Structure 1
Amino acid sequence: MHPFLQALAHYPDSIYVHHSKIEEQLPMHSHKKHQISYVEGGVAFLNTKNNSFFFPARHFIWIPAGLEHNVTSRTSVKMVHNLFFPADLIPETEILKKAGIFPVSNLLMEMINYTQRWNGDILRTDAEAFEFLIALRNIILEVAKTPFPVVLPTTTNEMLRPILKYIHLNVDQPLYLEEVAAHFGYSARSLSRLFQKNIETSFLQYVKLTRIIKSIELLLKTDLSISEVAYASGYNSLSAFSYAFNQIVNQSPAAFKKQSL
């Protein structure tokens, strides 16, 4: 077992606090505690067997106990703040049974930053720290009601994986079902079936989600204008980009950028 996972499991009843550049670069793994991770200054993904969860600035990732996962980053990050709660400290709500991305309020962000004075196991005997973390847990339970809607399905299917990679590498270019299918030696109908069978979404929807994730990265990490972000994400008009962004993220690109920054 990885030394970090050994340390995490040493005191099953503790709240474990861990701050690092990224989640120890662990391979796919699971543990018996619920986890929240807040990435400061960077773009990161939670990867599970079936999905890739993109979490932008001012959002935290919720990882329920027992879920096999790892966290990766596409950019350098300032810090990843991780809190691990014993399962009996978190009520079993339907939303918290699954992984999700949730907004970080100003209060929650300040409380997460305050936890940097601790590292490792916080036991009930550490009264002041433990009570503070219980208060933080209560704030988390309050905000964890409406998850961020951008979830990208993934697959281990060896025929589909290179196609998904091709979409990511060429997301700023026109991507048409017939042309991508021909590039990989499929008919349009066969490729459509491959998507539906393995990731339960259509080719067009996958491309749309990939474009929106790309646009969010650009909005957060560059000084490009909204129009420049639209074209760099593969849209041929600002109106089409704004409509798609609103449809998935439930707010305009400008409003999202203002809120996140």
Structure 2
Amino acid sequence: MQNAKLKCGLTEKNAGQYTDDIPSDAYIWFEENWQHDDYEHSHQRCQLTYVETGYQYFHIDKNIYLVPQNHVIWIPSDVRHRATSAAKTVNLRVVLFKTVPAQGFYQNIHVFSAPAVLKEMLLYASKWNKLLTEDEEKSVFLNAMLSSLPYFCDESGSLQIPVPTDIRLIPVCNHINKNYQYNFDTEELADMAKMSVRSLQRIFKQETNITLQKYMQLIRILKSIELIDKKQYTLSQIAHMVGYKSLSAFTSSYYALMQTKPKSKK
């Protein structure tokens, strides 16, 4: 047995196995440049994670969710997940809830942009960072935030990368993921999957709910978010790096998925 470690207030006795000794119903965890576990784990508490700086990928079941800066992810209790990121700096604010309302929102995974009021609430809640004891103001405040989440949620399915279960499609996805800066040949992809072009297009849409072209667009835009975070390139450079012939085409594609225009950090 490994030495017990304290993570988000939970005691990890073995990798991915936690003991919850937190006496309060809601618990705040924030630490500069703290990395979420990159191996699969779960816990009984529901988890609200706000990405204040950088970006984070959450791997849950057969899907990968991108949570960019100023976005939150809601993960229900006992859902196995792991997180990865290549960002230089990642600052996360985590709130763990033991008791949540019974309505359906809280039983499903959600990723959405944090409105200004939610960001302010999360910043204010930092006053209770790592506080184990119960506090009346803390309890009332965090319950109000918890109850408001369904009203804050303006969800974007574009931040979810579908992973097909049909193993014939895995080489296709891998090829696009590695060569997203180039235009792909559908016949070549069909050969990889050992099926006809028509079958590939039909089965891919059936497995992922998006077309091959939409998948390519999704991967390109998600890669652009990573490049923007590096603060090394202009938007025009990034547009060409991810396969767009012009900045206007990139901006249009980015807006279609993210409902906001890209902003350079350079």
The 5-angstrom pairing of residues 59-138 of structure 1 reads 59-88=71-100, 90=101, 92-94=103-105, 96-120=106-130, 122=132, 125-138=134-147
1:5-47: CA deviations, max 9, x gaps? 523x3358621323351223341x4333221111232221122
Q: In 2, are the aligned partners of 1:14 and 1:86 still within 8 Å (CA)?
A: yes
In the aligned structure 1, how far is the partner of 2:103 from the partner of 2:249?
A: 40
Q: Answer yes or no: is the 8 Å Cα contact 2:169–2:193 preserved in 1.
A: no
Whether the 8 Å contact between 1:122 and 1:129 is mirrored in structure 2 is: no
**CA deviation after TM superposition for structure 1 residue 153, in Å:** 0.6
What fraction of aligned residue pairs are identical, expressed as a percent?
Answer: 27
- Which of 13, 16, 19 is the equivalent residue of 2:27? 16
Q: Distance in 2 between matches of 1:19 and 1:158?
A: 39
What is the correspondence of 1:1-261 to structure 2 with a 5 Å cutoff? 2-3=12-13, 5-7=17-19, 9-11=20-22, 14-20=25-31, 21-27=34-40, 29-88=41-100, 90=101, 92-94=103-105, 96-120=106-130, 122=132, 125-138=134-147, 140-144=149-153, 146-150=154-158, 151-182=160-191, 185-253=194-262, 257=263
Please tell me the residue identity of whatever aligns with 2:60.
T
The unaligned stretches of length 5 or more in structure 2 are: 1-10
**Does the C-alpha gap of structure 1 residues 56 and 203 become closer, same or farther in structure 2, counting only changes over 3 Å?**
same
1:14–1:121 Cα contact (<8 Å) kept: no
Q: Is the 8 A contact 2:30 2:130 kept in 1?
A: no
Distance 1:197 1:143, change over 3 A: closer
Q: Work out the CA distance in 2 between the residues paired with 1:62 and 1:136.
A: 13
C-alpha spacing 1:235/1:136, structure 2 compared with 1 (3 Å): same
Q: Which amino acid aligns with 1:129?
A: K
Structure 1 or 2: more helix by fraction: 1
Note closer, same or farther for the CA distance 1:167–1:61 as it changes in structure 2 (3 Å cut).
Answer: same
Give the whole-Å Cα distance in 2 for the aligned partners of 1:212 and 1:64: 27
CA contact (8 A) 1:47 1:53 kept: yes
Structure 1 residues 39-68: Cα deviation after superposition (integer angstroms, max 9, x where no partner):
232221122213211111111111123433
CA contact (8 A) 1:177 1:204 kept: no
Aligned partners of 1:166 and 1:197: how far apart in 2?
Answer: 19
Distance 1:246 1:39 in 2: 20
Report how far residue 188 of structure 1 moved.
Answer: 2.1
Change (3 A) 1:223 1:140: farther
DSSP 3-state at the match of 1:244: helix
CA distance 1:181–1:232, change in 2 (3 Å): same
TM-score normalized by structure 1? 0.79
Q: Please, which runs of 5 or more residues in structure 1 have no aligned partner?
A: none
**Aligned-partner residue type, residue 157 of structure 2:** P
* Per-residue Cα deviation, 1:194-227 (whole angstroms, up to 9, x for no partner): 4234323321121111112122223343353333
Code of the aligned partner of 1:112: L
Match of 2:5 in 1: none
The total of aligned residue pairs comes to: 251
Higher relative contact order (CA 8 A, sep 6+): 1
For 1:210 and 1:73, locate their aligned partners in 2 and report how far apart those are by CA, in whole Å.
15
